């Protein structure tokens, strides 16, 4: 039996942030002056929390995550991981995208072991760690299968096991369940929470699905667009472990409504982008 534990705050005042965005701006150059995707993001995420980022399409959620992953360079400002500036991808950040990005020629086990092999982890230890996460995501019977024989949900479970196995400080997830049917999606949400509760690895999770954000996160960042910025933060004080029954509680419904309203208020106006970008 698991004990009920309180929601972990995404950032407790006074505790050092694991990842910090400091006035992070991203401008994509182009004709007509280009486009300011992020207009100066300030965000601190403490170790161990589950933070979701929601907001209207095009508000810069993926750009924010890609900057944290070191895949996109900010135009100005910086991102610090453990106090050190992020200057490119690294094994301290595990990334899971909507598209599974598994190596099609490798088995589930070899995919999960991939990062460990690159990090020159000895074979026995590699095996042990990979098996632990393959078991945790429920793929034990498919460890020797190739990705093409797996369903979408199984591929994504494999991608999550691979990200965890590499032992990153933080998991950056960009709509990882976006391509899945709703039943598989809710099963994977529950499984991801079980894994997170067990491993307590910090997660930054982009989604456009308000229910998903409320179910998973201890804190939800609501972004607005033109330029992309943080509009507000909604704490989700639902205790963990959260289960199927959590979705049926009055607290869940109330938080879902609150978050919906926050997202609706953050929808872009019809003002011209050139005018709106003056704001920040
Ligand atoms: N390489 C690029 N060049 C020019 N503009 C870009 C580039 N990448 C993103 N953008 C623009 O930056 C803005 C933010 O994009 P981003 O994908 O981060 O938004 P998002 O909130 O994740 O959107 P969605 O929810 O639709 O996935 C969009 O207007 C997008 O068109």
Three-state DSSP class for residue 190: helix
DSSP 81-139: ETTEE--S--TTEEEE-SS----TTS-HHHHHHHHHHHTT--HHHHHHHHHHHHHHTT-
Three-state DSSP class for residue 226: coil
Ligand 1 mean position to 3 CA, how many Å? 41
Three-state DSSP class for residue 172: strand
* Burial tier of 92 (Cβ tally within 10 Å: 0-12, 13-18, 19+): middle
pLDDT of residue 268: 65
CA-nearest residue, atom 5 of ligand 1: 28
Mutate to test the pocket of ligand 1, among 28, 53, 204 (most ligand atoms within 8 A of CB): 28
**Angle at 225 (CA atoms; ends 220, 227), nearest 5 degrees:** 120
Mutate to test the pocket of ligand 1, among 21, 35, 176 (most ligand atoms within 8 A of CB): 35
> What is the distance between the terminal CA atoms of the chain, rounded to a whole angstrom?
49
**Angle at 249 (CA atoms; ends 248, 251), nearest 5 degrees:** 135
Contact criterion met (CB below 8 Å) for 269 and 32: no
Determine the Cα–Cα distance for residues 10 and 15; give it in Å rounded to an integer.
10
Contact criterion met (CB below 8 Å) for 263 and 214: no
Q: Dihedral, CA atoms, 90, 96, 99, 100, nearest 10 degrees?
A: 90
Which residues does the chain have with pLDDT short of 70?
Answer: 1-15, 100, 268-280
Q: Nearest 5°: phi and psi at 4?
A: -75, 130
pLDDT of residue 124: 94
Give exposure, 56-80, as e/b (b: 16+ Cβ within 10 Å).
beebbbbbbbbbbbbebebbebebe
Determine the Cα–Cα distance for residues 209 and 119; give it in Å rounded to an integer.
35
Binding site membership of 4 for ligand 1 (Cβ less than 6 Å): no
ipTM of the complex: 0.97
């Amino acid at each position: 039996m698991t004990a009920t534990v309180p929601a972990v705050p995404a950032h407790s005042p006074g505790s050092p942030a694991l990842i910090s965005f400091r006035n992070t701006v991203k401008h994509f150059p182009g004709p007509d002056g280009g486009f300011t995707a992020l207009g100066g993001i300030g965000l601190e995420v403490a170790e161990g929390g589950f933070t979701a980022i929601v907001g209207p399409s095009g508000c810069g959620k993926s750009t924010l995550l890609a900057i944290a992953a070191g895949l996109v360079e900010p135009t100005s400002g910086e991102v610090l991981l453990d106090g050190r500036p992020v200057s490119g991808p690294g094994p301290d950040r595990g990334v899971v995208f909507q598209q599974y990005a598994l190596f099609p020629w490798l088995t589930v086990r070899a995919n999960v072991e991939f990062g460990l092999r690159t990090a020159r982890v000895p074979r026995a230890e590699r095996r042990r760690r990979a098996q632990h996460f393959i078991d945790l995501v429920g793929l034990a019977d498919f460890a020797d299968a190739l990705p093409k024989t797996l369903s979408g949900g199984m591929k994504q479970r494999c991608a999550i096991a691979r990200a965890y196995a590499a032992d990153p400080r933080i998991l950056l997830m960009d709509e990882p369940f976006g391509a899945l049917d709703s039943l598989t999606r809710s099963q994977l949400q529950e499984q991801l929470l079980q894994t997170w509760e067990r491993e307590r690895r910090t997660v930054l999770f982009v989604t456009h699905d308000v229910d998903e954000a409320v179910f998973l996160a201890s804190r939800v960042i609501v972004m607005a667009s033109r330029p992309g910025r943080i509009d507000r933060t909604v704490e989700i004080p639902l205790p963990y472990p959260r289960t199927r029954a959590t979705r049926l509680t009055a607290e869940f419904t109330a938080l879902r409504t609150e978050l919906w309203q926050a997202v609706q208020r953050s929808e872009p106006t019809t003002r011209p982008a050139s005018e709106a970008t003056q704001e920040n």
